[in-house]
């Protein structure tokens, strides 16, 4: 399986080639749809071949143009831990100029931790995990044979108190799911 970084500005957006279209992980800030389109073209990833979008969490630099991407025909896949937080996220994100609220309609909801549900939704082996630490709505995606897409989750040492404990548990889950390579939303790929 191949992965292409179609990110722009300081955000990594990963397009995972699944054999039946791309799975996209994260998109950029509100108002950057034009830049996103340019990034896709420069990396030869046709928008029409992107089937699914996962946003690792509801921060503007990761889900800012999710609704625009949905309107272009991509299905948004949310973890069951994210879906109930969508309305609140839309309210908070409304302050960012150009933000289009993410519609609750037409999304595919996948239970965190279920390999079977992930496989049937995406066609690829792996699992979506609830990985709080950076934020309570953070999820990571482990794709078998590739690694973990962790969004903004940083090492436990980067946090204090409850967040540090959450982050430690999140990294344990990621390791237990078999990931050895980490694709962060900012900065270079690294190993665990
Ligand atoms: Zn964030």
> How remote is the CA of residue 14 from the centroid of ligand 1, in Å?
16
pLDDT digits (tens, 9 = 90+) for 35-47: 999 999 999 999 9
Q: Mind spelling out the 3-state secondary structure of the chain?
A: CEEEECCECCECCEEEECCCCEEEECCCCCCCHHHHHHHHHHCCCCHHHEEEEECCCCCHHHHCCHHHHHHCCCEEEEECCCHHHHHHHHHHHCCCCCCCCCCCCCCEEECCCCHHHHHHHHCCCEEEEECCCCCCCCEEEEECCCEEEEECCCCHHHCCHHHHHHHHHHHHHHHHCCCCEEEECCCCCEEC
> How remote is the CA of residue 138 from the centroid of ligand 1, in Å?
8
Distance in angstroms (rounded) separating the CA atoms of residues 147 and 18 = 14
> How remote is the CA of residue 10 from the centroid of ligand 1, in Å?
12
> How remote is the CA of residue 18 from the centroid of ligand 1, in Å?
26
- The alpha carbon dihedral of 134, 96, 128, 21 has a sign of negative
> How remote is the CA of residue 98 from the centroid of ligand 1, in Å?
18
Taking ligand 1, which is a single-atom ion, which protein residues have CB atoms under 5 Å away?
A: 59, 152
> How remote is the CA of residue 114 from the centroid of ligand 1, in Å?
24
pLDDT digits (tens, 9 = 90+) for 117-139: 999 999 999 999 999 999 999 99
- Domains of the chain as residue ranges with CATH: 2-186 (3.60.15.10)
> How remote is the CA of residue 57 from the centroid of ligand 1, in Å?
7
pLDDT digits (tens, 9 = 90+) for 35-88: 999 999 999 999 999 999 999 999 999 999 999 999 999 999 999 999 999 999
pTM above 0.85, yes or no: yes
């Amino acid at each position: 399986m191949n992965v292409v970084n179609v990110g722009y500005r300081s955000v990594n957006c990963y397009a995972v080639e699944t054999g039946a279209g791309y799975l996209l992980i994260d998109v950029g800030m509100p108002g950057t749809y034009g830049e996103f389109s340019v990034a896709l073209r420069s990396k030869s990833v046709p928008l029409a071949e992107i089937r699914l979008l996962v946003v690792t969490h509801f921060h503007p630099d990761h889900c800012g143009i999710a609704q625009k991407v949905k309107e272009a025909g991509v299905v948004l896949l949310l973890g069951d831990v994210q879906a109930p937080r969508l309305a609140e996220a839309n309210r908070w994100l409304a302050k960012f100029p150009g933000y289009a609220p993410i519609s609750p309609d037409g999304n595919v909801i996948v239970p965190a931790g279920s390999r079977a549900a992930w496989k049937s939704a995406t066609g690829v082996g792996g699992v979506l995990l609830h990985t709080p630490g950076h934020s309570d709505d953070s999820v990571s995606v482990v794709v078998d044979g590739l690694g973990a897409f962790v969004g903004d989750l940083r090492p436990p040492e980067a946090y204090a108190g409850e967040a540090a404990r959450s982050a430690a548990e999140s990294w344990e889950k990621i390791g237990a799911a078999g990931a050895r390579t980490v694709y962060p939303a900012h900065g270079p790929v690294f190993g665990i």
